[in-house]
Amino acid sequence: MEIVEHLMYTKEHEWVLVDDDIATIGITDYAQSSLGDITFIELPSVDDEAEQFGEIVSVESVKAASDIFSPISGRVIEINTELETDPALINKSPYEKGWLAKIEIADKEELSNLMTAEEYENFLESSG
């Protein structure tokens, strides 16, 4: 499973890219592989308030529906609308074209609740 070095991760297999006050969020390669072919996505609206570890996106694969949780609190400032017509982008490119939303970070302290790439790799190994 691909893990990207400069991102931070949650136990629910979401990633976050921090660029100053803006966080770009998505799901990991492990998550997209477990979900299988993603067929539908319900993104938040711009200006929605995200809460750390709160539900932010719902996705459906051929077989099941799942919730995705926000790695960070803050206001949604942009969403990846391309996913609405082509949700399979998440499967093809989970760390780049498959990004979900950009969030204006409310509290940088929350980043300490996330895992580094190395910690996430260990977490994946230990959870088998």
Partner 1 sequence: MSLTESLKKTSLYDKHIALGAKMVPFGGWDMPVQYEGVIAEYTQTREAVSMFDISHMGEFVVVGDCVESGLDRIVTMSLEDLPVKFARYGMMLNDNGGIIDDLIIFRMEKDKWFLVVNGATTEKDLEHLKSSLNPSARIEDVSSVTAKIDVQGPLSRDVLKSIFPGIEKLEYYTFDFFNYLSKNILISRTGYTGELGYEIYLPWDSIDVLWNKILEDKRVRPAGLGARDVLRLEMGYSLYGHELSESITPIEAGLGKFVDFGKEFIGKEVLLKQKEQGVDRRIIGFVSDNRRSPRAEQAIYALDGTEVGVVTSGTFSVALQRGIGLGLVDHGVVKKEDKVLFGNEKARSEASVTSRIFYKGGSLKD
Distance CA 111, CA 9 (A): 9
Q: Which of 11, 21, 39, 119: binder of partner 1 (CB under 8 A)?
A: 39
Distance CA 109, CA 126 (A): 26
- Based on the shown chain and the rule CB under 8 A, indicate whether residue 127 belongs to the binding site for partner 1: no
Site string for partner 1, 40-79 (x = CB under 8 A): x-x-----------------xxxxxx--------------
The secondary structure of 48-101 as a DSSP string is PEE-TTSEEEEEEESS-EEEEE-SS-EEEEEE-THHHH-TTHHHH-TTTTT--E
Distance CA 68, CA 40 (A): 13
Q: Which of 21, 37, 55, 67: binder of partner 1 (CB under 8 A)?
A: 37
Residue number with CB closer to partner 1 (34 or 113): 34
Residue number with CB closer to partner 1 (33 or 122): 33
Query: What residues line the site for partner 1 (CB under 8 A)?
Result: 36-37, 39-40, 42, 60-65, 87-88, 91
